[in-house]
Each structure stands twice: as C-alpha cells, then as structure tokens.
Amino acid sequence: MVRYMSNNNTMPIEQLADIFKALSNPNRLKIFLLLTTCCSPGTVGIYDKSADVDTMFIGDLGKELEVGKPTVSHHIKELRRVGIIRTERRGQNIACWVDPDIIEQLRTFFTR
C-alpha cells in the first residue's frame, strides 16, 4: 500500500499548519527560495562554511522583493516565528539562513 505521510510525525497539527502558512505568501516563499538557492553566480548570497548554510542579509533579500522595508521585516519575523529561518546580527546587517532541521522535517512529512 502506498503511504505518503510519515507516521512518526511528532509535530502538532497547528504548528505544521503555521509552517505552511508562512510559506503560503509569495514574498515569504521567495525569501525562502532566495535563502536556499542563493549562491548562484550574480547573487549576493554567501555560503557560511562554519554553519554549512547559505546566508543573506535582510537588506539584500528586500532588494529582490517589491515591497517596503516594514513589510520585509514583518515577513522575516513571521518566518522566524515558525522556525523556518534563523537570524544573527553582523554589524549593521542581519544575516538570515534557513534552519536545516525544518527542511528535513518537511521532507520527512511528504515521504513514505
């Protein structure tokens, strides 16, 4: 029998719905995509070797979206609230990256 969902899913349904809600807004989804495919030539993405993740500054993310700074800030806050991204101040800028664990959980969710 084909089964698509993992049985050993420990995350509450409300929390999972919240994660999908965060990814349901086109601008937030773009941020997510920028952070997970950001290191192509011509982009400003940086591969952080020590953390083994791609990072971008919030300002550079904002330049890729056609919304104002408050809106970018709001979306970043929302992505962080549900645990999709993590942030860290670096001087004037704030670096962002996607939490690898969340990706792994989502892949597991859609597997088996």
Binding site for DNA (CB under 7 A): 21, 24-27, 57-59, 62, 66-78, 87, 89, 91-94
Nearer to a copy of itself, 92 or 110 (CB): 110
What's the min distance (Å) between Cβ of 59 and a copy of itself?
A: 21
What's the min distance (Å) between Cβ of 101 and a copy of itself?
A: 11
- First-to-last C-alpha distance (Å) of the chain: 10
Asked if 32 contacts 84 with a C-beta cutoff of 8 angstroms, the reply is: yes
Q: Which two tokens stand for residue 33?
A: 């995509």
Strand order in the sheet with 46-48: 46-48, 53-57, 93-98, 85-90
Instruction: Find residue 57's DSSP bridge partners.
Output: 95
The item of DNA, a copy of itself, none sharing an interface with residue 75, based on CB under 5 to 8 Å by kind, is: DNA
The item of DNA, a copy of itself, none sharing an interface with residue 81, based on CB under 5 to 8 Å by kind, is: none
